[in-house]
Amino acid sequence: MDQNNREMIADLKSYLEYLKGLGITEWPLSFIRNETMYCQEVPTGLGGIHELSPRYGMENISQSEVQRLEEVRSELGNCERCKLHRTRRSLVFGEGNEKARLMLIGEGPGNDEDVQGRPFVGKAGQLLTKILQAIEIERKEVYIANIIKCRPPQNRNPEPDEIENCYPFLLKQIQAIRPRIICALGTFSAQTLLKTDVKITTLRGKVYDYSGISLFPTYHPAYLLRNPEKKREVWEDMKQIAKALAESS
Ligand code: URA
């Protein structure tokens, strides 16, 4: 067996382990026949195509202004900067390892998160934990946050004034943690961080330079719950993240 075949089999084996970890134990044969199981190479060159708007960029925070996470939390306080404070039950600041090398950023709290005051604790969060485990990362090792910290009513998309008020605090969290890698979960997170309206299907599979931090967009776990066939692409993205983490250690 040549090297290529060995690598292909090893890759297929780890993909099947990943699916097993996500609770998938059966796979329709028709799907295997129709899909290219071994994906093409994912471009990973640094130097992203999208520039952050200077207004939202981390460049705007000078080194002397960098706060510790607890200072960011206390500055945020019992935030009433936008209308979402009227309908929220909890402000979901974010949680995890303050020295995380990987930071995951979702859209905003859903109902479960609003009740518990913690990010990604519902069904999508459970899937996220399994996805991380598939690349041998425990949830406690990473930091998890959202673009906005309060649940929009009926889980509607966050509105511009809500992002405007909340986003600077996310930037301060990123600055405090200074992760090596950010994984943007879903359309909204990727588009906000990269200041673009390019679709997530185009954005994912590439790496972007986010003020010196490598940013990998991928599909949101909630989207995966509705579209399980997209797990293959997320697996590819997660492998790139694992590789970049290993290379940056
Ligand atoms: N979806 C998100 O984007 N964030 C959460 O915290 C939970 C669900």
Q: What's domain 3-248's superfamily in CATH?
A: Uracil-DNA glycosylase-like domain (3.40.470.10)
Does residue 181 come out as left (phi exceeding 0), alpha (psi in the -120 to 50 range) or beta? beta
Give the position of tokens 């359309």: 187
- What is the side-by-side order of every strand in the sheet holding 95-96? 95-96, 143-146, 102-106, 181-185, 213-218, 208-210
Q: What is the pLDDT of residue 91?
A: 98
Q: At what angle do helices 160-177 and 69-76 cross, to 10 degrees?
A: 160
Pick from 88, 89, 107, 225 the residue to mutate for probing ligand 1's pocket: most ligand atoms within 8 Å of its CB. 107
Q: What is the pLDDT of residue 22?
A: 78
C-alpha 139: how far from its chain's center? Answer: 13
Q: What is the pLDDT of residue 32?
A: 39
Q: What is the pLDDT of residue 17?
A: 80
Query: Which atom of ligand 1 approaches the CA of 106 most closely?
Result: 3
Q: What is the DSSP pairing of strand 213-218 with strand 208-210?
A: antiparallel
Q: Which residues of the chain have pLDDT under 50?
A: 28-55
Q: What is the pLDDT of residue 187?
A: 96
C-alpha 172: how far from its chain's center? Answer: 17
The span from the CA of 61 to the CA of 170, in Å, is 12
Quickly count: other Cβ atoms within 10 Å of residue 162's Cβ. Answer: 20
Answer whether 0.85 is exceeded by the pTM: no
Q: What is the DSSP pairing of strand 102-106 with strand 143-146?
A: parallel
Q: What is the pLDDT of residue 66?
A: 86
Q: What is the pLDDT of residue 8?
A: 77
Question: Does 146 sit in the ligand 1 pocket, CB within 6 Å?
Answer: yes
pLDDT tens readout for residues 87-127: 999 999 999 999 999 999 999 999 999 999 999 999 999 99
Give the position of tokens 């309060």: 150
Residue 7 phi/psi, 5-degree rounding, is -65, -40
R_g over Cα of the chain:
18
Query: Which atom of ligand 1 approaches the CA of 221 most closely?
Result: 1
